[in-house]
Amino acid sequence: MQIESKLIMGNFSDIPNPDLSILIPTYGRAKYLEKAIESALAQKPTRCKVEIIIVSNDPYDAMTDLIDKYKNKKNVFIYRNEENIGMVGNSNRCVELARGKYIAFLHDDDYLLGNYIRNVEQFFLNKASEAKCFVVGRYILFEKKDHEYRNAVIKDIIRKIYFIPSLYRKKIRRAQIKQCLYANVNCYFSPSCGTVFEKKAFESVGGFNSDIPYSWDYEFFLRFNNVFQIDVFSNACAVYRIGNNASLRSEVKYDFYEYNKTKYLQFMRKNKIDDRYIKRYEKEIIYSIFQQWPEDLESELTKRNEEIPHLDSKMKWYWFKLKTLLYYYNNNLDIQRLLPRTKK
């Protein structure tokens, strides 16, 4: 028996046949949620009819404050699930409830910039492109200044040094599945921050897989990009918040590492991805995850009597990362950049 989602605010007759549904799955992030909603409401005017759908995964949250604040906003619809159906289930539920031809995900701790709708409207109007997905550029906002923040600062410096005049660069480019495998260098394949899909195309590949415990959004992109074209827009239109994952238990970190290393490699071989990219991905996933949690993963591998991966010298690794960054900049795929202070 399917768990119901109850509409607790909104009237469909107020906005019939929307073009775009902005989907905000939420649970326990009240301090961020309001900013996400406000950013969706504060878009510059366009011809695009937009509905904003908020689906709470907390069956005990009456959301009275939110209802009082937005009850006069005719394009805002608030739902509450009768039971908690998990993050993946709630994301799929948002899609089920959407009425627009196009859908865009906005997680409750991220937010859109004022130019978002005007830019994604290009995707709707571009009849020449066969793309069924439109990924927008984004700024990243760090909750904590750790090694990941330092890496982002270095990337930003390299980007400024390695300047390519915009005259010679296309703002919109087609993404290929081989580029999806560089996700740990530039994680643009994540639907949480303004990425637009044609709803029918999204549903045709089966939506998000609730059986996948880690990186389920990334796995979806691999499946989707194997069937449909994805266009990438390099200009920043949203802000992606990166929290602190230090609280994860060592066994969870190990499972995350193991799942990424085995399941995605299986996907690549099954879909006959070039062996060069498979080897690169395997090296990158080992480095990137060990770089985040070296002590936790080593202790967990030792506990399980498993071999600790051999890592090349740091200089070799830095050269590897630099080559990948330059590849992104040359191909105009550097869509993730550090949030300037003036943008907060």
Q: Which residues of the chain have pLDDT under 50?
A: 167, 183-185, 187-188, 246-247
Q: How far is CA 64 from CA 71, 77, 174, 206, in A?
A: 10, 13, 43, 34
Tens-place pLDDT, residues 284-310:
777 767 766 777 777 888 888 877 777
Given this model, what pLDDT does residue 70 score?
Answer: 94
Given this model, what pLDDT does residue 268 score?
Answer: 73
For residues 103 and 132, give the distance between their C-alpha atoms in angstroms, rounded to a whole number.
11
* Domains in the chain with CATH codes: 5-246+329-343 (3.90.550.10)
Given this model, what pLDDT does residue 28 score?
Answer: 86
Residue pair 68/13 in contact by the 8 Å Cβ criterion: no
Given this model, what pLDDT does residue 90 score?
Answer: 96
For residues 71 and 78, give the distance between their C-alpha atoms in angstroms, rounded to a whole number.
10
Given this model, what pLDDT does residue 185 score?
Answer: 46
Both tokens of 152, joined, read 């982002």
Given this model, what pLDDT does residue 213 score?
Answer: 72
Given this model, what pLDDT does residue 311 score?
Answer: 66
Both tokens of 323, joined, read 């080559």
Given this model, what pLDDT does residue 238 score?
Answer: 93
Residue pair 232/122 in contact by the 8 Å Cβ criterion: no
What is the rounded radius of gyration, in angstroms, for the C-alpha atoms of the chain? 20
For residues 109 and 192, give the distance between their C-alpha atoms in angstroms, rounded to a whole number.
10
Given this model, what pLDDT does residue 305 score?
Answer: 83
Given this model, what pLDDT does residue 193 score?
Answer: 85
- Apex 34 CA angle, 31 and 40, nearest 5: 145
